[in-house]
Chain A
Amino acid sequence: MSAPLVRFEGVTRRFGAEAAVDDVSLEIAEGEFFALLGPSGCGKTTLMRLLAGFEAPDAGRILLAGEDLAGVPPHRRPVHMMFQAYALFPHLSVARNVAFGLKAQGRARAEIDARVEEMLALVKLEGLGGRKPDQLSGGQKQRVALARALAPAPKLLLLDEPMAALDRKLREETQLELRTLQRQLGLTFLIVTHDQDEAMVTADRLAVMRTGRIVQVGPPAEVYERPIDRFVAGFLGEVNLFEGPDGCTGVRPERMALSRAEPKAAGRLPGKVAEAGYLGDRTVYVIEAAGRTLRAAQPSGGDAFRVGDAVWVSWPATAVMRLAE
């Protein structure tokens, strides 16, 4: 990893008595796609606004490429933000929205026009430059907002829930497009989301936040497979929890195997199928076993179980995650 582009050092931001961002230390490398993940109200937007300059930290400092950002106003920071609700300028056409940042930099007219064309092509909106924002669909608005933030080639692009307004299919497509775009342009992206799938699909690394604090940072696979506590485990997906004398452990549903005969796995319990939900690529079973309810996901195409069937649930020792608290 190269030198960090962004560095939060013990950053705190309070609103009244409550800390919206609480002693956060974080590094984001140049060229990285970094996701901030957490439930609503945990301080994701606030963290981003601190970086963009719309909030000032009450404690700690924020460094961009090694330079302290304290006292630098938003319009002097080489950081652009794509706002949670897009914030397109309603009185300007799509092309002039995209040109806005370039004009603010005082670029030449011809250069601006060329760049706007290039950006509109990049987000597949050729020919829509003359429209006003209220003549666009939600997905198109989102692309304009992206093109507008990308046009001046910021060192760092902040995306605050960029896809919250899109339907599921469009969202999945856009996630992958965003990923490709970021790799092509070699930019650093910081994306905020409360959708764990979005974070896992797009990000090189992600940070899980809770009530203003960062709970865990790492690549998606690592955080998913080795969450440090119950909150992270539960936030990134489904988990079967077991309280033992030596603490709490968890097993992901897709690591659970189902069989009719007693297996030889490290962990196993006999039970009964209480519910079966078919999802196309897999089926999710709810199993009543030894007084507890377990979830097991099985890929489609194998042995199918029916509600009421007696089954054995089992899992390998490697699937057991040790969880704090």
Chain B
Amino acid sequence: MRRGPSPFLVAMVAAGLVFLYAPIALLILYSFNASQLVTVWGGTSLRWYAALAHDEQMLDAVSVSLRVGLISASLATGLGLLAAVALVRGGRFRGRTAFSGMVYAPLVMPEVILGLALLLLFVSLKLPRGFWTVTAGHATVTLCYATVVIQARLAGFDRSLEEAAQDLGLSPARAFLAVTLPNIAPAVAAAWMLAFTLSLDDLVIASFTSGPGATTLPMRLYSQVRLGVNPEINAVSTLLIGVVAAGVVAAFLIQQGKTKT
């Protein structure tokens, strides 16, 4: 006799999903609310999306966030790839333990402290704070996540494939590019997506490291919310969710495609 999952389990899973997604669903729903009042339903409308299109400040924040995300995710992925290669392939080089500890520390370090540390660094270097300091801050913080993702894949990668490529006449560097990189590409793409998403929704680091003219989207949203929630925020948040969801689905499809062909 085959028994289905117990009602208790089903209820718990349902409760969990509701807990996680009900607020988001509500937010998306209210972004289409015609009413000015956030809690009163006044029929469906796209007026907040239209309003968004004319909100220069909001659009500027979106543009800053996207650019910071693109650049910092690319930096973090590139550096993360190098760190992963050093950790997986470097053998027991001097200071390996210290190196891996330092790469992973930001995973458990409170973000506030990291932000403060970065701020102190930039101030003492007399760097003007703005777009590039936020980007550097995000690259630093997301580097460890990128490293973890790539390292896991690289550790499981069969070294003899690389040796076979060298045996057939490619130098070690070319063998890495021709054989290893294509095979760990899904992990590299996933690492990039992860870094990009983390950058996109970061508020803490950005608040510490940003300066005039470089207000990211979460910073803009946060400052607006303090003045009172308005449905336009729901609209921009819905768009943000859309971008992130598209990214996650894309990363998933890349992985699927890789394993199928």
Contacts and interface: CB of A to CB of B under 8 A. Distances in A.
A91 interface: yes
Nearest to A100: B168
Interface in B38-83: none
Interface stretch (A10-18, A73-81, A162-170, A209-217): A73-81
B121 interface: no
Q: Give the size range of B's interface with the partner.
A: 10 to 19
Contacts of B160: 83-85, 87
A84 to B, nearest CB: 8
A52 interface: yes
Contacts of A278: none
Contacts of A89: 161, 164-165, 179
- Which interface residue of B158, B165, B167, B174 has the most chain A CB atoms within 10 A? B167
Q: Give the size range of A's interface with the partner.
A: 20 to 34
Contact of A90 (B169, B172, B183): B183
Contacts of B170: 75, 104
B163 A104 contact: no
Contact of A74 (B161, B163, B183, B261): B163
Contacts of B169: 75, 101, 104-105, 152
A132 B182 CA distance: 14
B42 to A, nearest CB: 54
Interface string A58-83: 00000000000000011100011101
A295 interface: no
B207 interface: no
Nearest to B182: A91
Contacts of B224: none
Given A89-B179, A91-B182, A91-B183, A101 B161 contact: no
A104 B164 contact: no
A87 B164 contact: yes
Contact of B168 (A80, A84, A132): A80
A44 interface: no
Contacts of A152: 168-169
A85 B164 CA distance: 11
B171 interface: yes
- Which interface residue of A73, A85, A100, A148 has the most chain B CB atoms within 10 A? A100
Interface string A287-305: 0000000000000000000
Given A91-B182, A91-B183, A132-B261, A100 B165 contact: yes
B89 to A, nearest CB: 14
Describe B's contact surface by its main secondary structure.
helix
Contacts of A81: 164, 167
A76 B174 CA distance: 13
A86 B166 CA distance: 14
A78 to B, nearest CB: 9
A74 B179 contact: no
A105 B169 CA distance: 7
Interface in B155-208: 158, 160-161, 163-172, 174-175, 179, 182-183
Contacts of B183: 90-91
- Which interface residue of A81, A87, A101, A105 has the most chain B CB atoms within 10 A? A87
A105 B160 CA distance: 20
B171 to A, nearest CB: 5
Interface string B127-167: 00000000000000000000000000000001011011111
Contacts of A132: 261
Contacts of A100: 165, 168
Interface in B72-129: none
Contacts of B261: 132
Contacts of A90: 161, 183
A325 to B, nearest CB: 37
B45 to A, nearest CB: 49
A100 B163 CA distance: 13
Contacts of A52: 167
B163 A54 contact: yes
A84 B183 CA distance: 20
Contact of B158 (A79, A87, A104): A87
A152 B182 CA distance: 23
Contacts of A79: 167
A258 to B, nearest CB: 50
Contacts of A83: 160, 163-164
Given A52-B167, A54-B163, A90-B183, 13 more contacts: A75-B171, A80-B168, A83-B164, A84-B160, A85-B160, A87-B160, A87-B163, A89-B161, A89-B165, A90-B161, A91-B182, A101-B169, A132-B261
Interface of B: 158, 160-161, 163-172, 174-175, 179, 182-183, 261
Interface of A: 52, 54, 73-75, 79-81, 83-85, 87, 89-91, 100-101, 104-105, 132, 148-149, 152
Q: Which 10 A-B pairs have the closest CB atoms?
A: A104-B169, A101-B168, A87-B164, A87-B160, A74-B166, A91-B182, A75-B166, A81-B167, A75-B169, A104-B170
